[in-house]
Amino acid sequence: MKRLLLMALTVISVGCANQKTTVEPAIPVDSDIEAKIKKVMAGMSLDDKIGQMCELTIDMVMTDSLVDGRPVLDSAKLKDAIEKYRVGSILNTPMGEAQSPDVWYEIINGIQQASMKYIGIPDIYGVDQNHGTTYTTGGTIFPQEINMAASLNRQLVREGAAICAYETRACNIPWVYNPVM
């Protein structure tokens, strides 16, 4: 009996695996954007493409000291990371501490200017916001997402994620790890 059941399940799973399904893309294809991407990719060397897959923590391009109590980008380290190594992504927060929206704007603006100057495409910058907007002073704090999910209240989770996204983007941070469940 077990053998017959196993054979039936095998036949069904093989049949399901061979079915062709068409899934509409979540974001409609834009042929103009696709053409721009192909043009940029065609102009990139292998080193450029490898560099774009590298992600650094922000402290690797910061000075070791504060200026007027604020963390500051180290222009030499940043130039080296982007121009020499072609790094395409930087993440997290300087010194592991929450920063004001003004500091965030200065840091990310500096990174983007360097990336556009040396590579010609924007850098992907992101922060872990697993408890809400924890890396911005004055940001809204939420429970860990797994705890929010355990509430089984989808609207609560959606609202928390929306608030986090809004507050993060208001700091010029384009990419956020939230919600993470």
Where exactly are the structural domains of the chain?
A: 45-177
Global confidence as pTM: 0.77
**What is the CATH superfamily name and number for domain 45-177?**
Glycoside hydrolase, family 3, N-terminal domain (3.20.20.300)
Q: Residue 108 has what DSSP assignment?
A: H
pLDDT of res. 49: 92
pLDDT of res. 11: 59
pLDDT of res. 99: 93
Query: Reading across the β-sheet that carries 124-128, which strands appear in turn?
Result: 55-57, 89-91, 124-128, 175-177
pLDDT of res. 140: 93
Below-50 pLDDT ranges, the chain: none
pLDDT of res. 17: 59
Number of residues that this document lists for the chain: 181
Burial of 89 (0-12, 13-18, 19+ CB in 10 A): middle
| E strand map for 78-123 | 89-91
